[in-house]
């Protein structure tokens, strides 16, 4: 965060008529207080980071913080100065801080986040217990809820925009367009979307009562929570028996959905396949490896190298592979696991990569849960395509460069994929 300090220009002193605006004065006082608080928070976070790195402050696996009072200082004496400064800041805040009800837990969470951000890697982060739980749900592709996609409206209501097929929401009679005003009697009008959704989620087999507005009518609908599998794969048969599979992300449920899609399309007589991973941010490494194992010849799929140069190979040996023409659509938002997918297809020459340069995230993170339910995610390795291509910071270069025509009514990148398949079929 940058703070701008502008010097006022100096001019000759002239008599002025001073008009006092009480509202402006009050706003000025409040702004001054808030600015002071902001500076204090920034200084505190920076101070704590230095303490952590110099061995004075420690975070245990249960998420608690403790001070090591007998830590030795280096010759510069920076450690003792920082410790003294932190104590001084704490003393000032304890005696002079204007606002009451300071949340010590939020302050501690800010310290943890500041410490990890000091490593300079945007992929190394701290998750609160709530954030970690949400992350688990997003990567497993399963959670216990009712199976409705929602958005927050300006009037405070939570509107259902889509219903997952065969979900508890569908069974209960909920519809797209329904506006939720309360969950189990608790109003959601003043809640943010994530908090409201967390009220709807719960244990499998339990009921949740939603107060909704539908066509100006107030209704109460009860739904029974169940396991919800997020649909990460969509597919259809296009013209000339060319299959199309779109993968939104690589979750734990994605492999089975991907294989089911291929088998269904093959049963319909598929002769070529377009795989769309545009705007796919990535996901679970083992998932993309399993998916590639199903479509590639047996052999190396991807390998990683850690900071010590230790190499880990991920290979396939299921005796299964696609033998039909394949096109993979990518763009600048195809990242991480998507780039592993595109890079392996390209190296094995299974098909053509079509679109624009991919994102360029060629590093691997792991997650370490802490005993209080929080977790840290940190970078542990860099990955390489089967032929040793390092795409971090570069991305995968398409075999056929096609910029998306946003003014066209048709998807010209998809058309390029279809045309490539047709050319390959003609040349067989």
Question: Annotated catalytic sites, by residue?
Answer: 336, 347, 361
User: Which of 410, 426, 247, 234 shows the shortest CA–CA distance to 329?
Assistant: 247
Integer-rounded Cα radius of gyration of the chain: 28
Cα–Cα dist 142/408, whole Å: 36
Q: Three-state SS for 165?
A: coil
Q: For the stretch 368-385, what's the b/e string if a residue is b when 16 or more beta carbons lie within 10 angstroms of its beta carbon?
A: eebeeebbbbebebbbbb
Rounded (to 5) percent helix, strand, coil in the chain: 35, 25, 40
Quickly list H helices, 66-146: 78-96, 104-117, 129-140
Contact 338, 313 (CB under 8 A): no
DSSP string of 168-198, one letter each residue? HHHHHT--TT-EEEEETTEE-TTS-HHHHHH
Distance of alpha carbon 127 from alpha carbon 112, whole angstroms: 9
Q: Provide CB contacts within 8 A for 301, sequence distance 6+.
A: 289, 292, 293, 314, 315, 316, 340, 344, 386
**Among 232, 239, 234, CA closest to 417:** 239
Per DSSP, the three-state class of 93 is helix
Distance in angstroms (rounded) separating the CA atoms of residues 268 and 246: 18
């Amino acid at each position: 965060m940058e703070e701008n300090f502008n010097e006022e220009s100096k001019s000759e002193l002239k008599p002025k008529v001073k008009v006092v605006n009480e509202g402006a004065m009050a706003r000025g006082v409040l702004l001054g207080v808030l600015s002071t608080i902001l500076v204090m928070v920034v200084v505190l976070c920076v101070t704590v980071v230095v303490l952590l790195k110099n061995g004075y402050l420690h975070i245990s696996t249960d998420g608690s913080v403790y001070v090591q009072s007998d830590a030795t200082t280096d010759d510069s004496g920076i450690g003792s100065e920082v410790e003294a400064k932190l104590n001084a800041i704490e003393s000032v805040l304890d005696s002079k801080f204007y606002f009451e009800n300071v949340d010590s837990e939020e302050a501690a969470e800010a310290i943890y986040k500041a410490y990890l951000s000091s490593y300079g890697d945007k992929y190394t982060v701290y998750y609160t217990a709530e954030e970690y739980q949400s992350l688990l749900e997003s990567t497993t592709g399963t959670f216990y809820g009712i199976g409705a996609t929602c958005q927050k409206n300006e009037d405070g209501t939570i509107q259902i925009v889509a219903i997952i097929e065969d979900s508890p929401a569908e069974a209960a009679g909920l519809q797209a367009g329904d506006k939720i005003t309360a969950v189990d009697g608790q109003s959601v009008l003043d809640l943010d979307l994530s908090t409201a959704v967390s009220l709807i989620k719960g244990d499998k087999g339990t009921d949740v009562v939603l107060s909704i507005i539908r066509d100006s009518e107030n209704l109460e609908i009860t739904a029974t929570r169940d396991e919800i599998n997020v649909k990460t794969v969509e597919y259809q048969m296009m013209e000339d028996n060319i299959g199309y599979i779109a993968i939104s992300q690589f979750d734990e449920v994605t492999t089975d959905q991907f294989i089911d899609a291929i088998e269904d399309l093959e049963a319909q007589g598929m002769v070529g396949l377009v795989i769309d991973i545009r705007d796919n941010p990535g996901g679970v490494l083992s998932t993309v490896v399993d998916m590639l194992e199903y479509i590639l010849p047996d052999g190396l799929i991807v390998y990683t190298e850690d900071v010590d140069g230790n190499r880990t190979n991920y290979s396939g040996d299921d005796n299964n592979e696609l033998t039909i023409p394949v096109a993979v659509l990518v763009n600048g938002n195809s990242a991480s696991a998507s780039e592993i997918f595109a890079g392996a297809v390209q190296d094995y020459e299974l098909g053509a990569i079509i679109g624009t340069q991919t994102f360029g995230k060629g590093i691997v993170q792991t997650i370490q849960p802490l005993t209080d339910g929080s977790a840290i995610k940190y970078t542990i390795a860099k990955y390489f395509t089967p032929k040793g291509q390092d795409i971090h910071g570069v991305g995968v270069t398409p075999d056929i460069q096609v910029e998306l025509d946003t003014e066209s009514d048709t998807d010209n990148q998809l058309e390029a994929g279809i045309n490539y398949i047709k050319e390959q079929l003609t040349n067989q």
